């Protein structure tokens, strides 16, 4: 990787740095495997890979505490892995099998874990933004200091309901962090061609919501910004916006013609800005890890991912009776 300007010494322990490396690598290898299984016909439908954006969720998860909630869009595999959901359950949901988080009934875009306070996985662009504010509303109503991370993209940032939500979140001082994962392309439309302002976070100013831009390819910068936003929300000061500038290496979904940007642009990002390489470099240059240490982590991650793929292939399809279950329930849901 080319030299990156890191102005200050990372405020992070060697162990934490290694953990970031491991967590980001897990997402990348998992997604590569998912792409492979898609190509083999084992995963169907829509499948949106998170490759390139790993530092966003890993950095922000480092700023959370137990009880905090998260909700996101359809590009959700990374968020699930980062908040500690089981790779086997995620991969088996991608293959539509009984062992998946939704027993095969949700798919890539619709998984949930009340244990890990992960509230989906939503396929309608922008719709998860009021849902996240509603989760934050429930915490404020109950009087605890939990925070909800509501992730959405630069594309979703143009939906009307986002601004309806900004207004109410500010009005009611909801403890919600709006994380705009700006990967620069709304499907195939670049930010320049879709969005009137270059810095989306400034749009919160109209509602009195503070916001800032963050280098989404630097996991340490993301964590630091996350901690600041979390402190703001926990102190009862209302919502906060983080516009995390990131980049997706793969297509919007698996069926992406890749005609809207150049190969050189993608290659340049990979070579100069890659978030995993960045941490790798920090580990090596700080002598926190040897080549062998990192190889051992690579091997361990590869094994976790391969196991998840095996699990996802071996898990049976859901029983046909599942067609008719979970439509309505008689039992009060164990939400929150």
Partner 1 sequence: MATEILMPALSPTMEEGTLAKWLVKEGDTVNSGDIMAEIETDKATMEFEAVDEGTIGKILIDEGTEGVKVNTPIAVLLEEGESADDIGDVSASVPTEAAPAAEAPAATASAGATPAAAPAPDTSPDWPEGTEMVKMTVREALNSAMAEEMRRDESVFVMGEEVAEYQGAYKITQNLLDEFGAKRVIDTPITEHGFAGIGVGASWGGLRPIVEFMTWNFAMQAIDQIINSAAKTLYMSGGQMGSPIVFRGPNGAAARVGAQHSQDYAAWYAQVPGLKVVQPYSAADAKGLLKSAIRDPNPVVFLENEILYGKSFEVPKLDDFTIPFGKARIHREGTDVTIVSFGIGMTYALEAAEKLAEDGISAEVIDLRTLRPLDYDTVVASVMKTNRCVTVEEGWPVASIGNHITATLMERAFDYLDAPVINCTGKDVPMPYAANLERLALTSTAEVIEAVKQVTYR
- Determine contact, residues 241/211, Cβ cutoff 8 Å: yes
Owner of token pair 């905090």: 68
| Residues contacting 160, CB < 8 A, separation 6+ | 126
Nearest to 136 by CA among 83, 107, 179: 179
Q: Report, in Å, the least distance between residue 17 CB and partner 1.
A: 23
Using CA atoms, how far apart are residues 201 and 241, in angstroms rounded to an integer?
6
213 or 276, CB closer to partner 1? 276
Q: Report, in Å, the least distance between residue 243 CB and partner 1.
A: 20
81 or 214, CB closer to partner 1? 81
273 or 288, CB closer to partner 1? 273
171 or 296, CB closer to partner 1? 171
Using CA atoms, how far apart are residues 302 and 172, in angstroms rounded to an integer?
46
Q: Report, in Å, the least distance between residue 311 CB and partner 1.
A: 13
Q: Report, in Å, the least distance between residue 253 CB and partner 1.
A: 8
Beta strands at 189-190 and 185-186: parallel, antiparallel or unpaired: antiparallel
Q: How far is CA 14 from CA 81, 213, 276, 289, in A?
A: 21, 26, 15, 8
Q: Report, in Å, the least distance between residue 223 CB and partner 1.
A: 25
22 or 105, CB closer to partner 1? 105
Six-digit token string for 168: 């109410």
Q: Report, in Å, the least distance between residue 235 CB and partner 1.
A: 20
Using CA atoms, how far apart are residues 321 and 139, in angstroms rounded to an integer?
36
Instruction: Looking at 62-127, list the stretches that DSSP marks H as alpha helix, in order from N- to C-terminal side.
Output: 77-82, 87-94
Using CA atoms, how far apart are residues 234 and 226, in angstroms rounded to an integer?
12
198 or 333, CB closer to partner 1? 333
117 or 223, CB closer to partner 1? 117
Using CA atoms, how far apart are residues 203 and 219, in angstroms rounded to an integer?
24
Q: Report, in Å, the least distance between residue 12 CB and partner 1.
A: 27
120 or 153, CB closer to partner 1? 120
54 or 139, CB closer to partner 1? 139
Q: Report, in Å, the least distance between residue 199 CB and partner 1.
A: 23
- Determine contact, residues 261/45, Cβ cutoff 8 Å: no
Q: Report, in Å, the least distance between residue 69 CB and partner 1.
A: 7
| Residues contacting 24, CB < 8 A, separation 6+ | 54, 55, 58, 219, 275, 276, 279
Q: How many CA atoms lie within 13 A of 156 on its CB side?
A: 28
Q: Is 249 exposed, middle or buried (0-12, 13-18, 19+ CB in 10 A)?
A: middle
């Amino acid at each position: 990787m080319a030299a990156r300007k890191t102005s200050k010494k990372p405020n992070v322990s060697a162990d934490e740095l290694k953990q970031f490396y491991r967590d980001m690598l897990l997402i990348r290898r998992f997604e590569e495997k998912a792409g492979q299984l898609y190509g083999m016909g084992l995963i169907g439908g829509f499948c949106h890979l998170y490759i390139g954006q790993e530092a966003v969720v890993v950095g922000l998860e480092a700023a959370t505490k137990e009880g905090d909630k998260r909700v996101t869009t359809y590009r959700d595999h990374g968020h699930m892995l980062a908040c500690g959901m089981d790779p086997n359950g995620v991969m088996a949901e991608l293959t539509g099998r009984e062992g998946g988080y939704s027993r095969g009934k949700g798919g890539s875009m619709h998984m949930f874990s009340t244990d890990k306070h992960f509230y989906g996985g939503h396929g309608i662009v922008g719709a998860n933004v009021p849902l996240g504010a509603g989760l934050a509303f429930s915490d404020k109503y109950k009087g605890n200091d939990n925070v909800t991370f509501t992730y959405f993209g630069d594309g979703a940032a143009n939906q009307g309901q986002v601004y309806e939500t900004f207004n109410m979140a500010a009005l009611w001082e909801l403890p919600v962090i709006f994380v705009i994962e700006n990967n620069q392309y709304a499907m195939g439309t670049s930010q320049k061609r879709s969005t009137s302002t270059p810095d989306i976070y400034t749009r919160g100013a109209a509602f009195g919501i503070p916001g800032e831009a963050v280098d989404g390819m630097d996991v340490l910068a993301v964590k630091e910004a996350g901690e600041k936003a979390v402190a703001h929300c926990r102190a009862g000061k209302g919502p906060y916006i983080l516009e995390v500038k990131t980049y997706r290496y793969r297509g919007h979904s698996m069926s992406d013609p890749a005609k809207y940007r150049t190969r050189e642009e993608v290659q340049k990002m990979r070579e100069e800005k890659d978030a995993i390489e960045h941490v790798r470099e920090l580990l090596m240059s700080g002598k926190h890890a040897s080549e062998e240490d990192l190889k051992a982590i690579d091997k361990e991650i590869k094994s976790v991912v391969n196991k998840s793929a095996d699990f996802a292939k071996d898990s049976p399809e859901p029983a046909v009776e599942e067609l008719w279950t979970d439509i309505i329930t008689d039992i009060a849901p164990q939400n929150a």
